Chain A
Amino acid sequence: MHPVLSTVLKRLMLGVLTLFMVSVVIFCAVSMLPGDFGQAVLGQSATEDAVEAFRQELGLDRPAALRYLDWIGALATGDLGTSFSGRSSSGIDRSRPVAELVAPRLANTLFLASVTAAIAVPLALFLGITSALWRNSLYDRLASAGTLVTISFPEFFVAYILILFLGTLWALFPSLAAVEPEMALGERLYKSVLPALTLTLVIVAHMMRMTRAAIISLLASPHIEMARLAGESPRRVILRHALPNAWAPIATVIAFNLAYLVVGVVVVEVVFVYPGVGQLMVDAVSSRDIPVVQACALIFAAAYILLNLLADVIGIITNPRLLHPK
């Protein structure tokens, strides 16, 4: 087997192990949430007996270890469980499977993340590379200052500023991004412009500065001096000689930011009323809907692990020392 493939498999196995450990942490954290679902649904006036009966029905009275084993066992067969919500004290059960609740929301989140990534990653790379090429020029300083400004404002502030100018004053794009499953791609894109733009402004600075720094730190190495003494133009020095050796750190930062797009965008979702998985999780936490909270947290963890694995793989395939061992 090629060493790269075996490394990837090894990392993948480690990723599964990490996910398993994360599941324990999630379960414990959720168990430690104050209050419980029974109380939340039945209200303050419910008698203790009624709450206890409801807890029994949901299995919440069983020991935590057993509940964990049930959950993880079902998970292994692909069953995320059933949501607590939709049940009521009157005994009518309108609850839905967690998968059914999460899937459309996750699709929306991934859609917004992809649109944002498609704008932000090339933009950050372009800004980073050109800033490295014209380092310490006016352009470099403006790019640095501009991206720093956008990252320094809170997300909701950037979002409202964009709504004010692009949504209200010039009315170029809709201020509300309430996408529906049956919408055509064009309309979805159109509705998602403002949230995507907001997120782009938030994540570009980090990636751009890392790209610039990774390239510039390489410019001091002897092989770059050698390239210059071989008559390479500044542009070729950056693109041919520095950039190919800079992918590993750049990929790590990109992966970090893409993971953020999946797991950390709830504020932006709220501002634009975008039906993403972040909002779903926040709602589930406030209503103590434990299966949904656990499923969302696990999906977030998986996204982090997968994206970091991807960054590792990029680091390996762009490093000839690892790709072509002696």
Chain B
Amino acid sequence: MSSKTQDVLLEMRDVRIEGFSDEHWNPIVKGVDLTLHRGEVLGLIGESGAGKSTLGLAAMGFVRAGCRISGGSIRFGDTDLRTASEAEKRRLWGTRLTYVAQSAAASFNPAHRLITQTANAAIREGLFSASEARGAARGLYQAMSLPEPDQIGLRYPHQVSGGQLQRVMTAMAMLPQPDLIVFDEPTTALDVTTQAEVLLAMRRIVEQHNTAAIYITHDLAVVAQMADTIKVLRHGQEVEEAPARNMLSAPKEAYTRSLWSVRKLEKVTKPASETVLAVDSVDAAYGTVKVLDDVTIRLPRGRTVSIVGESGSGKSTTARVIMGLLPPRRGQVVFEGSALPPGLKGRSKQQLRRIQMIYQMADTAMNPRHTVGEIIRRPLEFYHGLTGAAAEARVLELLEQIELGADFYDRLPSELSGGQKQRVCIARALAAEPDVIICDEVTSALDQIVQEGILRLLMRLQKECGISYLFITHDIATVQAISDEIVVMHKGKVVEQGPKEEILSPPHPEYTRLLLTSVPEMDPDWLTRLAASREAGTNPATG
């Protein structure tokens, strides 16, 4: 992707954007310059709240409701996007300036067929006739390696998978042969195996058409594969900008280096110990749909076992079976040598207390009307009968333990950041004084730096309290950071289980290998190598 010419396509100067909240206008983007040449791909990277999406949309002259552009200039070709009327901008949107959104599943209209949506803008603006546009769409579906490219367009959004939708959306963005595409975290919602496929297809098509693009993401390894230039944003300001290779090999700023710190976190594995919790040949089903097939997992005391696999592999269902939320069809859950009653109702308070769970969305796992103090007090009262001053003292102790402190006691969940919310959920689980905590994707909704903090906290708690973790995740970097043992799951079955070093080094079963090779590496040539190896047929890709 280095077919750069000196032809400037987009020029943003000192762009300032404000958002309205708490009765006044707050700055979101604080004076950022951005220059993009024809055919150039610029990566915009930063944690959430850095203003990357806002800036990416502003590059199209678009602001979300409740936001406004308060300063600076935005020139796209001959058009001044700050002074252009809505009607003028609408003629550019969808044809010369297109957009690929983060969640394709939510961004397609559920009421229309895919090909109708793909071809809509091009037909409306008279770029193609209806039949030409549909033909072009089918061609692009093929180029994006979609299955049955001639038929898939006739389906409705709910009838195809998330990875396929993301590719259809890229096809939709490419169809009018735009000058610029804004990709807004297009693979964040995808499984790692699907992400690799989508990245390959997107990069190939952007290269073929020599389209300029702004690629927004929080994942440096991903942006390294896609971008010629990388710009790092923080708190609405530019940290640094450099050619992708330079940025990866020699980032200038400390902040940039910290962005991929979680990838450097690594736990020294400890040898296995006696088994505290075991899942013993469990089958489970939702209605008639079988989701777990003969699953056996062992969790040694004081250790961390990570369950990895893509969505639909049965990871979370395993957690539900252990918790007693979903009684298994066959098999049992064994805790300290004796079988647990299959359902929640059959379990004693002590049995419930000793296995706790932390959820992915800390937001929805807390009562929004309870203060942090009330949230943590609840298990203290329920399991230990602590009330009054004793409970309060214990809450303060737990708040210290999760590194938040006493001044959080009276806050509401809505006043906390994502990482702080997850810490409160950890404190709530700790309050029960459990032997085992099941962590279901607890870091996947968080920024990398925040992730690192949470993982360090969990490891410290393990060292101090001897808690065993069953850690469910789809992120291999997290697995490396925290686990002693790894379980690989695929389609409701355990593919393999063993110590971390053993699982992560070859030889691998077919699926483990696909999973591991799909994890983006901090090497700008990773995707190219992956493409080459997959084309050579050593590792057939799956849709």
A233 and B158 contacting across the interface, CB-CB below 8 Å = no
- Contacts A320-B158, A324-B156, A326-B159 given; does A230 touch B110 at CB 8 Å: no
CB neighbours of B101 from chain A (8 A): 222, 225-226
Chain B hits for A324, CB < 8 A = 155-156, 159
Q: How many residues on B have C-beta within 8 angstroms of the other chain's C-beta atoms?
A: 32
Contact check, B98 vs A245: say whether CB atoms are below 8 A apart.
no
| B469 lies within 8 A of chain A by Cβ | no
Contacts of A225 in B (CB 8 A): 64, 101, 107
B111, A244: Cβ atoms closer than 8 Å: yes
User: With A231-B91, A231-B94 in contact, is A223–B108 under 8 Å at CB?
Assistant: yes
Residues of chain B within 8 A (CB-CB) of A326 are 158-159
Q: Is A77 an interface residue (CB 8 A)?
A: no
The verdict on B262 contacting chain A, using a C-beta distance below 8 Å, is no
Max chain B C-beta neighbours (<10 A), residue from A223, A227, A240? A223
The verdict on A320 contacting B125 (CB below 8 Å), with A221-B106, A231-B91, A231-B93 known, is: no
Which residues does chain B contribute within 8 Å of A245, judged by CB atoms? 109-111
Does A232 touch B at the CB level, under 8 Å? Answer: yes
Rounded to whole Å, the gap between the CB of A289 and the closest CB of chain B is: 50
Q: In the complex, which residues of chain A have a beta carbon less than 8 angstroms from the beta carbon of B89? A: 231
Determine if B106 and A229 form an interchain contact, defined as CB atoms under 8 angstroms apart.
no
CA distance A229 to B89 in the complex (A): 9
Question: A67 at the A/B interface (Cβ < 8 Å)?
Answer: no
Asked if A212 is an interface residue, CB under 8 A from chain B, the answer is no
B111 proximity list for chain A (CB < 8 A): 241, 244-245, 318, 320
Let me know if B177 is at the binding interface, CB within 8 A: no
Residue A321 interfacial (CB < 8 Å) = yes
* Chain A residues whose CB sits within 8 angstroms of the CB of B124 once the complex forms: 231-232
Query: Which residues in A have their C-beta under 8 angstroms from that of B120?
Result: 230, 232
Task: Report how far A261 CA is from B108 CA in the complex, Å.
Answer: 38
Q: Which residue of A lies closest to B95 (CB)?
A: A231
Assess whether B158 is in contact with A230, with CB atoms less than 8 Å apart: no
Cβ of A96 < 8 Å from any Cβ of B? no
Pairwise interchain contact B156-A320, C-beta atoms closer than 8 A: yes
Contacts of A232 in B (CB 8 A): 90, 94, 120-121, 124
Does B108 contact A226, Cβ atoms closer than 8 Å?
A: yes
Q: How many residues of A contact B (CB 8 A)?
A: 22
Query: Are B121 and A320 in contact, CB atoms less than 8 angstroms apart?
Result: no
- Assess the A223–B110 pair: CB atoms within 8 A: yes
**At the interface, yes or no: A141 with Cβ under 8 Å from chain B?**
no
B100-142 interface (Cβ within 8 A of A): 101, 103, 106-112, 120-121, 124-125
- The proximity string for A residues 240-265 relative to B, scoring 1 for CB distances below 8 Å and 0 otherwise, is 11001100000000000000000000
CB of B62 closer than 8 Å to a CB of A: yes
Give chain B residues whose Cβ lies under 8 Å from the Cβ of A320: 110-111, 156, 158
Distance in Å from the Cβ of B290 to the closest Cβ of chain A?
A: 17
> Smallest CB–CB gap between B203 and chain A, Å?
22
CA distance A227 to B110 in the complex (A): 12
Question: In whole angstroms, what is the CA distance A233 to B93 when docked?
Answer: 11
| B-contacting residues, A158-196, CB 8 Å | none
B344 at the binding interface (Cβ < 8 Å): no
Asked if B183 is at the interface (CB within 8 A of a chain A CB), the reply is: no
Q: Which residues of A contact B87 (CB under 8 A)?
A: 233
**Residues 272-326 of A at the B interface (beta carbon under 8 Å):** 318-321, 324, 326
Which residue of chain B has the shortest Cβ distance to A224 in the bound complex?
B109
B117 to chain A, nearest CB (A): 8
A324–B90 alpha-carbon span in the complex (Å): 32
- Bound together, the chains give a CA A120 to CA B108 distance in angstroms of 33
Residues from chain B with a CB closer than 8 A to the CB of A229 are 57, 60, 62, 93-94, 98-99
Please, which residues of chain A bring their CB within 8 A of the CB of B90? Answer: 231-233
Chain A interface SS verdict (over half): helix
Q: What is the CB-to-nearest-CB distance from B265 to chain A, in angstroms, rounded to a whole number?
A: 33
| CB of A50 to closest CB in B, whole Å | 65
Residues of B within 8 A of A222 (CB): 101, 103, 106-107
Which of chain A's residues has its CB closest to B184's CB?
A229
- B448-467 interface with A by 8 A CB criterion: none
- Which residues from A are CB-within-8-Å of B91? 231
- A241 and B107 form a contact (CB under 8 A): no
Q: Closest CB-CB distance, B175 to chain A, in whole Å?
A: 11
Given contacts A231-B94, A231-B124, A318-B111, contact A226 B158 (CB under 8 A): no
Interface residue from A221, A230, A321 paired with B93 (Cβ < 8 Å): A230
Q: Kindly report which residue of chain B lies nearest to residue A325, judged by CB atoms.
A: B159
How many Å lie between the Cα of A226 and that of B112 in the bound state? 14
Per-position contact with B for A72-87: 1 when CB-CB < 8 Å, else 0? 0000000000000000
B109 contacts which chain A residues (CB < 8 A)? 223, 226-227, 241, 244-245
CA distance A77 to B92 in the complex (A): 68
Q: Pick from A226, A227, A230, A326 the residue with the most CB of B within 10 Å.
A: A230
A228: B residues at CB distance < 8 A? 62, 93
The answer for the CA separation of A326 and B158 in the assembled complex, in Å, is 7
CA distance A318 to B87 in the complex (A): 31
CB contacts (< 8 Å) of B107 on chain A: these are 222-223, 225-226
**Cβ-closest chain B residue relative to A236:** B124
Residues on B with C-beta less than 8 A from A319 are 110
CA–CA, A222 and B106, complex, Å: 6
B181: shortest Cβ distance to chain A, in Å? 11
A234 to chain B, nearest CB (A): 8
In the assembled complex, how far is the CB of residue A20 from the closest CB belonging to chain B, in whole angstroms? 30
Whole-angstrom distance between the Cβ of A319 and the nearest chain B Cβ: 8
- Closest approach, in angstroms, between the C-beta of B486 and any C-beta of chain A? 32
Chain A residue numbers with a CB within 8 Å of B172 are 230
Q: Which residue of A lies closest to B91 (CB)?
A: A231
Which B residues from 1 to 33 make CB contacts under 8 A with A?
none
Q: Are A226 and B99 in contact (CB under 8 A)?
A: yes
B121 pairs with A231, CB closer than 8 A:
yes
A106 smallest CB distance to B (angstroms): 37
A319 vs B120: C-alpha distance when bound (angstroms):
20
Q: A231-B92, A231-B95, A231-B124 are in contact. Are A321 and B110 (CB under 8 A)?
A: yes
For A244, list chain B residues within 8 Å (CB): 109, 111-112
With A and B bound together, what is the CA distance between A318 and B107 in angstroms? 19
Kindly supply a per-residue 1/0 record for chain A positions 197-241, scoring 1 wherever the CB is within 8 Å of any chain B CB and 0 otherwise: 000000000000000000000000111011111111100000011
Task: Report Cα–Cα, A221/B111, bound state, in Å.
Answer: 13
CB distance from A127 to the nearest CB of B (A): 22
Cβ-closest chain B residue relative to A243: B111
Closest chain B residue, CB of each to CB of A247: B111
Residues on A with C-beta less than 8 A from B159 are: 324, 326
Q: For residue A321, which residues in chain B have a CB less than 8 angstroms away from its CB? A: 110, 156, 158
Is the Cβ of B108 less than 8 Å from the Cβ of A230?
Answer: no
A-B contact pairs, 14 of them (CB 8 A): A222-B101, A226-B101, A229-B60, A229-B62, A229-B99, A230-B99, A231-B92, A232-B90, A232-B121, A240-B112, A241-B109, A318-B111, A320-B156, A324-B159
Further contacts, 17 of them, CB under 8 A, given A225-B101, A320-B156: A222-B107, A223-B107, A223-B109, A223-B110, A225-B64, A226-B109, A227-B109, A229-B60, A230-B93, A230-B94, A230-B172, A231-B89, A231-B94, A233-B87, A244-B111, A320-B111, A321-B158
Which residues from chain A sit less than 8 Å from chain B, CB to CB? Answer: 221-223, 225-233, 240-241, 244-245, 318-321, 324, 326
- CB-CB nearest 9 A-B residue pairs: A230-B94, A231-B93, A231-B94, A244-B111, A222-B106, A320-B156, A231-B90, A229-B99, A226-B107
